[in-house]
Structure 1
């Protein structure tokens, strides 16, 4: 079944859309607060589609992601009890917040860098940083460095790999897609208990 190759072709069409930078900016902003879709999912195909704009796209993603992180921080700081805590409870994320608190206690500011650079859900840490009243300026600076490194790395790899990498990706996209889907299901089944 060639579901993923068709989906990839559609994503590449969207990446060329004249409003794609606006969508990337919006996704970057809300992903830092609550959105589950990583910025890389838009950034990578947009950079492949227009490699000459790679650094612009990375800068856009970084700026709006850190702006969203600031908003997430504010939500945790000012609206934890009336809005955020009930939302966390309704989503069943209490354990994730407790884990984030424990990581803050153990690693301090470095946990923001780790969450901003890796696939760990950054949104959990932006809200938790506000709830814990972490110093705002260091939070923003570390977020800027971590998010910037991540997005410029993704854009750089896409720009560097270019047409050759895209050709290989297209060739194996369905196999990779199914393997990722199977891995996600297995991970869910193993971790749900």
Structure 2
């Protein structure tokens, strides 16, 4: 059964929907606060399906993500103990939060930049930045640079790869998908 190919085809179909940019913006905001699926999952197929709009999609994802980061910051600042901390404990994110707090004390605002660009869960750092009351302007600037670099890189790869990349990706999507599942399971057991 070709699970990942089916998902890939659905993602390409949705990426061509007339409201896809709005969905991308909403997903970008939500992913920076609580949503577990990375924006790249929607951005990449959208940039593949409409390469001439790849830069616009990257801009939408960047702005939405930073706005979501600001929302996460204020949630961390004003609603951490009463609302968010019980969820963090329930979802098993306490160890990640402790790591984020340690990294903030060691590296400051550079952690936000790193989390914005890398696959590290950005939402943990947006909430932590608010909880730890990191200065808001450096937080916004680091978020804007890190998130923009990431999303414009994804858009660029899809733009330059074009139809050829879409064809190659479709050919190998099952292998890539199962490899990612194996890596995630391996990392789970390694860090557990």
Distance 2:14 2:160 in 1: 21
List aligned pairs for 1:41-80, cutoff 5 A: 41-80=41-80
Tell me the TM-score normalized by structure 2: 0.97
Matched residue, 1:39: 39
How far is 1:98 from its partner? Answer: 0.9
Tell me the TM-score normalized by structure 1: 0.96
- What do residues 61-118 of structure 1 show as CA deviations (whole Å, max 9, x unaligned)? 0001000000000001111111111211221211111110100011111000000000
Matched residue, 2:112: 112
Question: Structure 1: any 5+ residue segments left out of the alignment?
Answer: none
Distance 1:184 1:82 in 2: 31
Matched residue, 2:86: 86
Matched residue, 2:155: 155
Distance 1:96 1:9 in 2: 33
Q: Give structure 1 regions of 4+ aligned residues with deviation exceeding 3 angstroms.
A: none
Q: How many residues align?
A: 192
Matched residue, 1:180: 180
Distance 1:77 1:85 in 2: 12
How far is 1:55 from its partner? Answer: 0.8
* RMSD of aligned Cα (Å): 1.0
Q: Secondary structure at the match of 2:43?
A: helix
Question: Structure 2: any 5+ residue segments left out of the alignment?
Answer: none
1:24 correspondence with 2:8? no
